[in-house]
């Protein structure tokens, strides 16, 4: 969960939120939605500890076609945009100590066909760096899940240490001001404030994302009945607390308007405390944090196309397992290639928005599957049951619906393309389903 989001999203949230209260409401709202989702997924993960996570939940809870659509979305849109976003964040961090990476190689000047607003696509030297990061982490996971897991533990410890170090240094040695927390209240109320809140909420949910990754490697988790709820609930509460503290530090050290316009807000905070040299070292730690998040994404994400191909509902190449390392080698390479292509297009903000839009549609469907399984499979062993059922799942579903509608309104073209790509999977499902039935 802790990766590029907390180091970059405070700036976007300030820009779209417009006030301190909206930013904090979005952090709190995002934390609650994440916690409610984690509570629901903890029940699913403990009851169905299978490889593929949501693919298995949707297939058994709503039907095979829904499981396929999730896997198709995840493999063709979700995971590629997620990994590409993380790699783009890594590239943006890299441009702080190495400004040369931000220089453009070429650019295209386009016009949004819906809004008529100009749009500039700029290709910089950072894009090849992002692709190299994806290739490196894919290779590490290719060598084995144990190695990937050990790398993840080490990088997670470094990420948390970097965030807490910035928080402690800011309050102990920084010369911030309470006056920076202005404007505290939004300039307008009603629908304008609601739209700002939903936009900031969408940004916060990228920072929180990752809470569901554990479910995708369910068959490889020891003692899932205990470890699923412990990891999901404990991790969500810890991360939400860290994010609230870190956001307070950013605004305490920098005027709110500066936060809203910063490209490297965390680095700018450290530079204000201890100078450019210290900021470069901390940025290096953030680069490592991004690699840790990328590792988590690629480690868990490859299990979905592997599980689908094993059911003969995806490209056959993704079903191969390395004879020595026992990893889903074909799925890892397939996933890494798509993510690399995605990393060459779009900005960090655009890629994260596309991912949140696509992913939250299926988070909501998975919670619906959990509710339906309560009715259709009452005999299913449930070592953990969702706290606050059915209120918690219903609140989560309503929040997910409002979020996805808001993102579609903000970015109609990219969201519509993403939705069309998801629905195009129905064509392949029909083809692969017929082939699978013909061979049985």
pLDDT in tens, 83-92: 888 898 888 8
pLDDT interval class at 58 (50, 70, 90): very high
- Cis status of the peptide bond prior to 285, with omega within 30 of 0: no
pLDDT in tens, 186-221: 877 777 888 899 999 999 998 898 787 666 555 566
What's the whole-number mean pLDDT along residues 46-53? 74
Q: Report d(CA 183, CA 204) in Å as an integer.
A: 19
pLDDT for the residue 114: 55
Q: Which CATH number fits domain 4-438: 3.40.190.150, 1.10.260.40, 3.90.550.10, 1.20.1740.10?
A: 1.20.1740.10
pLDDT interval class at 293 (50, 70, 90): confident
Distances from the Cα of 306 to the Cα of 109, 143, 152, 330, 380, angstroms: 39, 16, 21, 8, 25
Look up residue 216 and give its two tokens.
């995708």
Query: Torsion-angle region of residue 245: left (phi > 0), alpha (psi -120 to 50) or beta?
Result: alpha
Query: What's phi and psi for 110, nearest 5 deg?
Result: -120, 175
Q: Report d(CA 333, CA 318) in Å as an integer.
A: 8
Domain boundaries, the chain: 4-438
Q: Report d(CA 278, CA 272) in Å as an integer.
A: 10
Tell me the pTM.
Answer: 0.81
Residue 35 has, within 13 A of its CA and on its CB side, a CA count of 17
pLDDT for the residue 361: 95
Q: Among 143-157, 163-177, 358-372, 420-434, whose mean pLDDT is lowest?
A: 143-157
């Amino acid at each position: 969960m802790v990766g590029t989001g907390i180091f970059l999203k405070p700036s976007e949230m300030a820009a779209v939120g417009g006030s301190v209260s909206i930013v904090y409401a979005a952090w709190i709202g995002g934390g609650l939605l994440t916690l409610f989702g984690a509570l629901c997924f903890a029940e699913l993960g403990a009851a169905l500890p299978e490889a593929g996570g949501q693919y298995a939940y949707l297939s058994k809870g709503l039907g095979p076609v829904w499981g396929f659509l999730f896997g198709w979305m995840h493999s063709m849109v979700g995971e590629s945009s997620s990994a590409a976003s993380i790699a783009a964040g890594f590239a943006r961090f890299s441009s702080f100590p190495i400004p040369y990476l931000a220089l453009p190689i070429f650019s295209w000047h386009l016009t949004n066909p819906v809004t008529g607003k100009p749009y500039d696509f700029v290709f910089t030297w950072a894009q090849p760096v992002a692709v190299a990061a994806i290739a490196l982490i894919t290779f590490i996971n290719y060598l084995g899940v144990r190695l990937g897991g050990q790398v993840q533990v080490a990088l997670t410890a470094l990420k948390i240490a970097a965030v807490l170090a910035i928080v402690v240094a800011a309050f102990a040695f920084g010369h911030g001001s309470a006056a920076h927390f202005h404007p505290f209240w939004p300039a307008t109320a009603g629908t304008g404030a609601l739209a700002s809140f939903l936009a900031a909420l969408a940004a916060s949910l990228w920072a929180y994302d990752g809470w569901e990754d554990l479910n995708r490697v369910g068959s490889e988790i020891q003692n899932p009945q205990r470890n699923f709820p412990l990891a999901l609930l404990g991790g969500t509460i810890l991360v939400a607390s860290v994010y609230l503290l870190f956001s307070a530090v950013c605004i305490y050290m920098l005027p709110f308007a500066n936060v809203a316009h910063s490209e490297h807000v965390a680095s700018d905070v450290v530079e204000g405390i201890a100078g450019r040299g210290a900021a470069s070292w901390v940025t290096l730690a953030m680069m490592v944090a991004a690699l840790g998040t990328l590792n988590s994404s690629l480690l868990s994400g490859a299990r979905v196309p592997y599980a689908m191909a094993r059911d003969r509902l995806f490209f056959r190449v993704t079903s191969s397992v390395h004879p020595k390392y026992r990893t889903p080698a074909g799925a890892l390479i397939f996933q890494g290639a798509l993510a690399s292509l995605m990393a060459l297009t779009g900005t960090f903000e655009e890629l994260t928005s596309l991912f949140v839009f696509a992913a939250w549609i299926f988070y909501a469907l998975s919670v619906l599957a959990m509710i339906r399984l309560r009715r259709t499979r009452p005999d299913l062993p449930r070592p953990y049951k969702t706290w606050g059922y059915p209120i918690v799942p219903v609140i989560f579903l309503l929040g997910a619906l409002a979020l996805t509608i808001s993102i579609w309104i903000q970015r109609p073209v990219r969201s519509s393309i993403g939705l069309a790509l998801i629905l195009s999977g129905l064509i392949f499902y029909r083809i692969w389903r017929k082939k699978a039935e013909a061979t049985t």
